[in-house]
């Protein structure tokens, strides 16, 4: 009972200093719960097709990432409790308590913190589920009827996941306390030795870190064929390791070098804050590296989401190039089709082109597609003119070929030079790949290659020539009106093969990408919030340790204003270093994405970096004033 009382008292007295951590823990629970709730809710049921399936996979992946994040966050938070408590625990040892008892007290106390954050997190989580779903759907631009309904399963899953993780760390802390010696406990907060790290090791870390980091950058943007997937994966691993080594090696080495240059060091407050940065760096470099990686993830997530959205819109646009496409073995159907359409709709533009359908066995390319067709350069040029599409392709030479492909959501092939295409024994060198939708939706179904007119004539005997008649109507949403008229010409006869394609602009076949986009934005915000608050919390705690030092400086007669200046430099370093390293690394990751997604992401890069900058600036300013208070520089 008395043990319980003591723990409760401890919890009460330290409530204020743990509040920041509890709120952050509650926040992660809230986010996790919201995603879990999405899995068990039926709001995406209405989208139909593969959408629900993809969205579920997406949310599972995100939940996993969030779970990992929660794990590390808990690790970090419980460590803060442990070191902070260990100092006081030393006192209990002198009061005659055994390690086991102290450990039990620690467990009771941390369990209280854990349960409070669960209650907070689940409570606010439940309140926000409706809001979260509304926002998610609004940003995704999806209209689904939602009802506010919370099932018990996601709540239980969230609590279970959280408590299991929490328990692991509480037990870890318990074992740590039971095993530690009295001396160690008393001096847990007084490990001020080794201010300066061994220069030799730092140098090794520096060189290694820079090599690893830059090889990561190089791999990320290196163009290549199928090895790109491996490269990207290696780049991610290398950059993460590189960032850790950078903060563990290069940056301390740099600051220690500053500290050795006394003429540079003895400039106003510099003497004070550079030495403090060196001192803190040894303890904090993991935190800096972690926030840096987190921010890097968030920027990449946002850029991915944005690129996906752009690609999605491109694909919709691509598909809607023509409303109707007629593919027929008969030539000269143009006027007939036109008159059929014009019964119900007015045509905005129309074009026709012949395609030479070849048997796939004649082709030898890097990838095997199911159907191949060859186009002639001059016909497509005419088609482009009639439809108003751009056409800047040079006429290919006799052994050259142009690939006319579809838009891909993501392509791992970033190097497409020197592609070879072999048709019926003749090898062509692929000069360009275009994804202008000359043949609209058909381009998604058939792989087209464009050759010059002479080559086209040469290939003609090898396959069958088909004719495409392509129309776009004024009101694409009225596509259904002409459907029945067009059905009259569709035929499956041997001598007259005619097929039609009707494009529905409302198709929700790939709606899940919209959800992905929103989820990416959301992840961006969560990660940014997390990295900002991790840094903030770290500095918040550090401030208490600095109190003694600032007290000495005040005793020496150094003005509060000077001290504040010094500490604001110090905190600026803590925020700016991860930010700058992130900015550099994100440039490469976004650049790599740009290449895979064929989308310009510079705006997103600058935008997200800007958002982080503003958020960090706010955190920094808050930190400075809170730090000054906690360290006793200001009342």
Partner 1 sequence: MNEKKVLEIKNLVKNYGTKGFHTTVLKGIDLEIRRNEFIAVMGPSGSGKTTLLNLLSTIDKPTQGLILLDGQDITRIPNKELSKLRRDKIGFIFQDYNLLDTMTLQDNIALPLSLNGVSGRACIAKAKELGEMFGLKGHLDKYPYQLSGGQKQRGAACRALITDPEIIFADEPTGALDSRSSKDLLECLKMVNDSGRATILMVTHDAFSASYAKDVYILNDGQISCRLSKGADRKEFYDRITDMQASMGGDFS
Residue ranges that bind partner 1, judged by CB under 8 A:
192-193, 195-196, 259, 262-272, 275-276, 278-279, 549, 552-553, 555-560, 562
Closest separation in Å from C-beta 152 to partner 1: 53
CA distance 102 to 611: 45
> Are 472 and 321 contacting, i.e. CB atoms less than 8 angstroms apart?
yes
CA distance 223 to 227: 9
Q: Pick between residue 276 and residue 298 the one whose CB is nearest to partner 1.
A: 276
E runs forming strands in 192-254: none
Q: Would the CA dihedral through 432, 438, 440, 446 be positive or negative?
A: negative
Closest separation in Å from C-beta 84 to partner 1: 20
Distance of alpha carbon 522 from the chain centroid: 10
Closest separation in Å from C-beta 203 to partner 1: 19
- Strands 400-404 and 372-376, by their bridges, are unpaired
620 φ/ψ angles, rounded to the nearest 5 degrees:
-60, -50
Closest separation in Å from C-beta 543 to partner 1: 14
Per DSSP, 250 falls in state I
Q: Pick between residue 447 and residue 573 the one whose CB is nearest to partner 1.
A: 573
- 293 CB-contact burial (10 Å; exposed 0-12 / middle 13-18 / buried 19+): buried
Q: Pick between residue 178 and residue 189 the one whose CB is nearest to partner 1.
A: 189
Closest separation in Å from C-beta 104 to partner 1: 34
Closest separation in Å from C-beta 274 to partner 1: 9
Longest CA span, the chain: 102
CA distance 440 to 472: 10
Q: Pick between residue 413 and residue 539 the one whose CB is nearest to partner 1.
A: 539
Q: Pick between residue 163 and residue 558 the one whose CB is nearest to partner 1.
A: 558
Q: Pick between residue 137 and residue 563 the one whose CB is nearest to partner 1.
A: 563
Q: Is 285 helix (H, G, I), strand (E, B) or coil?
A: helix
Closest separation in Å from C-beta 201 to partner 1: 18
Closest separation in Å from C-beta 551 to partner 1: 9
Q: Pick between residue 75 and residue 264 the one whose CB is nearest to partner 1.
A: 264
Q: Which residues contact 445 (CB under 8 A, 6 or more apart)?
A: 371
> Are 586 and 546 contacting, i.e. CB atoms less than 8 angstroms apart?
no
Closest separation in Å from C-beta 83 to partner 1: 18
For residues 46-56, b (16+ Cβ closer than 10 Å) or e, as one string?
ebeeebbebbe
Closest separation in Å from C-beta 35 to partner 1: 43
H/E stretch holding 350 reads strand 347-358
Enter the tokens of residue 572.
């600026």
Q: Pick between residue 388 and residue 557 the one whose CB is nearest to partner 1.
A: 557
Q: Pick between residue 574 and residue 601 the one whose CB is nearest to partner 1.
A: 574
CA distance 353 to 99: 85
Q: Pick between residue 5 and residue 262 the one whose CB is nearest to partner 1.
A: 262
Q: Pick between residue 82 and residue 553 the one whose CB is nearest to partner 1.
A: 553
Closest separation in Å from C-beta 263 to partner 1: 4
- What is the secondary structure of 75-123 as a DSSP string? HHHHHHHHHHHHHHHHHHHHTT--HHHHHHHHHHHHHHHHHHHHHHHHH
H/E stretch holding 445 reads helix 442-445
Give the neighbor-by-neighbor strand order of the sheet with 447-451: 363-364, 420-423, 426-434, 400-404, 447-451, 372-376, 347-358, 464-473, 324-328, 497-502, 491-492
Closest separation in Å from C-beta 130 to partner 1: 51
Q: Pick between residue 1 and residue 556 the one whose CB is nearest to partner 1.
A: 556
Enter the tokens of residue 359.
């048997």
């Amino acid at each position: 009972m008395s043990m319980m009382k003591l723990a409760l008292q401890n919890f009460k007295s330290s409530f204020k200093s743990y509040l920041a951590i509890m709120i952050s823990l509650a926040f992660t629970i809230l986010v996790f719960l919201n995603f879990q709730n999405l899995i068990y809710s039926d709001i995406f049921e209405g989208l139909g097709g593969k959408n629900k399936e993809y969205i579920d996979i997406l949310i599972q992946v995100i939940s996993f990432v969030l779970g990992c994040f929660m794990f590390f966050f808990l690790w970090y938070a419980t460590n803060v409790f442990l070191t902070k408590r260990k100092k006081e625990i030393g006192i209990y040892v002198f009061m005659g308590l055994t390690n086991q008892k102290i450990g039990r007290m620690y467990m009771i106390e941390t369990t209280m913190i854990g349960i409070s954050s669960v209650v907070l997190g689940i409570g606010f989580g439940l309140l926000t589920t409706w809001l979260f779903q509304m926002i998610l759907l609004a940003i995704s631009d999806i209209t689904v009827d939602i009802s506010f309904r919370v099932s018990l399963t996601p709540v239980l899953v969230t609590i279970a996941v959280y408590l299991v993780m929490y328990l692991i760390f509480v037990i870890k802390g318990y074992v740590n306390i039971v095993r530690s010696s009295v001396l160690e406990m008393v001096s847990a907060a007084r490990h001020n030795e080794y201010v300066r790290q061994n220069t030799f090791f730092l140098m090794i870390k520096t060189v290694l870190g820079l090599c690893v980091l830059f090889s990561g950058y190089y791999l990320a943007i290196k163009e290549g064929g199928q090895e790109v997937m491996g490269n990207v994966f290696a780049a991610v691993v290398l950059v993460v390791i590189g960032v850790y080594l950078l903060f563990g090696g290069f940056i301390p080495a740099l600051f220690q070098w500053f500290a050795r240059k006394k003429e540079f060091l003895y400039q106003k407050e510099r003497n004070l804050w550079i030495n403090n940065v060196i001192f803190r760096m040894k303890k904090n470099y993991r935190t800096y590296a972690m926030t840096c990686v987190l921010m890097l993830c968030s920027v990449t997530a946002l850029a991915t989401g944005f690129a996906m959205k752009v690609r999605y819109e491109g694909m919709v646009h691509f598909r809607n190039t023509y409303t109707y496409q007629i593919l027929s073995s008969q030539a000269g159907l143009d006027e007939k089709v036109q008159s059929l359409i014009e019964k119900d709709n007015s045509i905005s533009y129309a074009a026709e082109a012949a395609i030479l359908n070849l048997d796939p066995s004649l082709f030898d390319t890097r990838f095997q597609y199911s159907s191949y067709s060859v186009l002639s350069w001059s016909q497509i040029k005419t088609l482009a003119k009639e439809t108003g599409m751009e056409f800047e392709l040079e006429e290919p030479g006799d052994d050259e070929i142009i690939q006319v492909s579809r838009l891909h959501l993501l392509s791992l092939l970033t190097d497409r030079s020197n592609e070879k295409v072999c048709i019926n024994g003749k090898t062509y060198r692929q000069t360009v790949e275009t994804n202008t939708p000359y043949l609209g939706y058909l381009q998604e179904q058939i792989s087209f290659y464009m050759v010059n007119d002479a080559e086209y004539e040469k290939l003609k005997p090898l396959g069958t020539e088909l004719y495409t008649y392509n129309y776009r109507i004024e009101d694409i949403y009225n596509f259904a009106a002409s459907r029945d008229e067009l059905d009259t010409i569709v035929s499956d006869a041997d001598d007259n093969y005619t097929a039609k394609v009707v494009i529905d602009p409302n198709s929700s076949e790939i709606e899940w990408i919209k959800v992905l986009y929103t989820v990416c934005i959301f992840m961006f915000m969560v990660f940014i919030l997390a990295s900002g608050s991790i840094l903030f919390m770290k500095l918040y705690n550090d401030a208490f340790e600095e109190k003694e030092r600032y007290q000495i400086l005040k005793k020496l007669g150094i003005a509060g204003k000077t001290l504040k200046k010094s500490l604001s430099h110090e905190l600026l370093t803590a925020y700016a270093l991860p930010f700058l390293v992130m900015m550099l690394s994100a440039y490469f990751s976004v650049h790599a994405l740009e290449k895979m997604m064929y989308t310009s992401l510079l705006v997103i890069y600058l935008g997200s970096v800007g958002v982080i900058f503003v958020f960090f600036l706010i955190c920094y300013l808050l930190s400075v004033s809170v730090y000054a208070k906690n360290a006793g520089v200001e009342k």
